[in-house]
Amino acid sequence: MAKRKRKESFEPRATAFAAETELGSGRRSARLRLRAAWMYYVEEMTQNVIADRLGIGRVTVVRLLNDARSLHEVRVSVSRDFAELLELEFALQQAFGLKEAIVAPLSARDADPSVPIGAVTGEYVSKLLRNDMRIGLGWGRTLINALPFVSERPVANLSVISLLGGITKTKQYNPSEFAWQFARFFQADCYLIAAPALVDSIETKRALIERCGLKDILHLARSLDAVVVGAGGMSSDDTIFRFGFVGERERRSLTAKGAVGDLLCHYYDRQGRLVDHPINEAVMAVPIETLTKAKSRILASGGPHKTEAILGAIAALRPTVFITDEGTAKALLAGVKG
Domain presence at residue 285: yes
> Are 198 and 125 part of one and the same domain?
yes
Query: Rounded to an integer, what distance in angstroms lies between the CA atom of residue 303 and that of residue 116?
Result: 11
The predicted pLDDT at position 239 comes to: 67
Cα distance between the two ends of the chain: 24
Domain presence at residue 260: yes
Mean pLDDT calculated for residue range 182-200: 92
Q: Which of 52, 76, 100 is a domain's end point?
A: 76
Neighbouring CB atoms inside 10 A of 185's CB total 19
Phi and psi (nearest 5°) for 266? Answer: -95, 115
Residue 313 predicted with pLDDT over 80:
yes
Q: Could you tell me if 285 and 309 are in contact, meaning their C-beta atoms sit under 8 angstroms apart?
A: no
pLDDT class for 175, splitting at 50, 70, 90?
Answer: low
Q: Which of 58, 76, 94 is a domain's end point?
A: 76
Tell me if residue 78 falls in helix, strand or coil.
strand
> Are 145 and 32 part of one and the same domain?
no
Contacts of residue 299, Cβ cutoff 8 Å, sequence gap at least 6? 229, 230, 231, 310, 313, 314, 317, 319, 321, 322, 323
How many domains are there within the chain? 2
Mean pLDDT calculated for residue range 5-25: 38
> Are 264 and 280 part of one and the same domain?
yes
Task: State which residues form the domain around 46.
Answer: 6-76
> Are 229 and 250 part of one and the same domain?
yes
> Are 145 and 253 part of one and the same domain?
yes
Residue 219 predicted with pLDDT over 80:
yes
Amino acid, single-letter form, for residue 154: P
Q: Which of 30, 47, 76 is a domain's end point?
A: 76
Mean pLDDT calculated for residue range 22-31: 52
Question: Domain of 319: which CATH number?
Answer: 3.40.50.1360
Domain presence at residue 63: yes
- Regarding beta strands 261-263 and 266-268, do their DSSP bridges make them parallel or antiparallel, or are they unpaired? antiparallel
Residue 185 predicted with pLDDT over 70:
yes
Q: Which residues are 159's β-sheet partners?
A: 134, 189
Mean pLDDT calculated for residue range 160-164: 95
> Are 135 and 72 part of one and the same domain?
no
Domain presence at residue 1: no
